[in-house]
Amino acid sequence: MNLIFQAVALLAFILPGLLFRSAYKQGLWNYPLGRLGSFTEQVPRSLAHAAWINFVWAWAVGRIHHAWPSTIQDINYKAVIYWLTNKFGSNDMYFDTAVKSLTDHPSQVFLYFFFMYAFSIACGWAMYGAVRYLKLDRYVPALRFDNDWHYQLHGEILDFPDYIKRGGTADIKHKDRGWTIVVAVVDLKDQSCLYSGILIDFFFDQHGNIDRLLLVGAMRRSFDKDAAGDDICSESIDPARWYKIKGHYFVLRMSEIKTLNFDYIAAKDKEVEDIAADMNRDLDLELAELEEEEARRREKHVEDLLREMRDQIEDALPLVDGPTVEDRAPSESPDPGAEESSSS
């Protein structure tokens, strides 16, 4: 039974480190980061955090006890050592003392751990915010988050010193990045094609793996239209070799992608400005076509209504006016001679 109490006591003092690490790693990202590791993997990494959090919290509670001794009870460090080491002396002579330390003030023991756990989470979030605000994770690998896709797709990898040492370009920094152009090789039924577009957003599945890429200005081409000769080294996009995909947004699924290429473009890059201008022009044309189609549809609807009303009126006229002169029988036609004889 004492072993169970010891395990519970150890977990109670290690849990602040686990909560701190989890809050720091997850932070305020609006997408999952994947697994943080199994419990046995997280415990060794959380021991250092658990140590300083317990030390700071015990010191703070001690200071509060000295300020209000009648309100807050002091920490019984001997009882804590008994519980953690599972050593209660011969015949468990100190066991009653350790139990009494818990049962005398159970509410204060509960509040001690409750607020310590809340403090651990708050410290994790605060450290996350400080690291992200000061951009320390870009320059200190130890502070980097387990979110490689975010760093790559948003271009923050451009500020990594180790990225530049591995041969990355130093011509553009993250603050200068305006767009991320994605080029993907996608396997179709009978061939592979290249898809390209400007990255707008990306989405993760429930396991923390990237699931979809959202693009605008999407284009595609097959490999049989590869450039030849000097055009291979050209950095511009040849419209003659690419087929522009009509639509506002294009979704690329990672399950269908074989390889990915990222091209970070400066905010004032002329090529991207041309793509954006083409997108706006195409959007204006689509809106004009929709307005014209809607006008034709309304005009046709009005014509159909008028035609239907005219048919109904023509069908109703014979019932209202009776037989016309042409429809009367010849015997019913007036005789001018008979009218003259009767008048005489």
Residue 154 buriedness (CB in 10 A; 0-12 / 13-18 / 19+): middle
Q: What is the pLDDT of residue 26?
A: 82
For residue 229, the model assigns a pLDDT of: 45
The whole-chain average pLDDT of the chain stands at 76
Structure tokens at 45: 């990494």
CB-CB neighbours of 318 under 10 Å: 11
Q: Give residue 51's identity as a one-letter amino acid code.
A: A
Return the percentage of the chain with pLDDT > 90, whole number: 12
Element (DSSP H or E) covering residue 202:
strand 192-204
The rounded distance, in Å, linking the Cα atoms of 115 and 118 is 5
* Euclidean distance between CA atoms 57 and 20, whole angstroms: 13
Q: Which amino acid is at 277?
A: A
Task: Report yes or no: 221 and 194 within 8 Å, Cβ to Cβ.
Answer: yes
Number of neighbours of residue 269 by Cβ within 10 angstroms: 18
Residues belonging to the chain = 344
Q: Specify the 3-state DSSP secondary structure of 305.
A: helix
300: Cβ–Cβ under 8 A, 6 or more apart, which residues?
none
Model confidence at 343, pLDDT cuts 50, 70, 90, reads very low
pLDDT of residue 134: 92
Give mean pLDDT, residues 307-327: 66
Residue 188 has pLDDT above 50, yes or no: yes
In terms of Cα–Cα distance, which of 21, 264, 19 is closest to 146? Answer: 21
User: Residues 16-61: pLDDT tens digits?
Assistant: 998 998 888 888 776 665 556 666 777 787 888 999 998 999 899 8
pTM here is: 0.63
Residue ranges of alpha helices (H) inside 186-332 are 270-321
Q: CA 202, 206, 208, 210 torsion: positive or negative?
A: negative
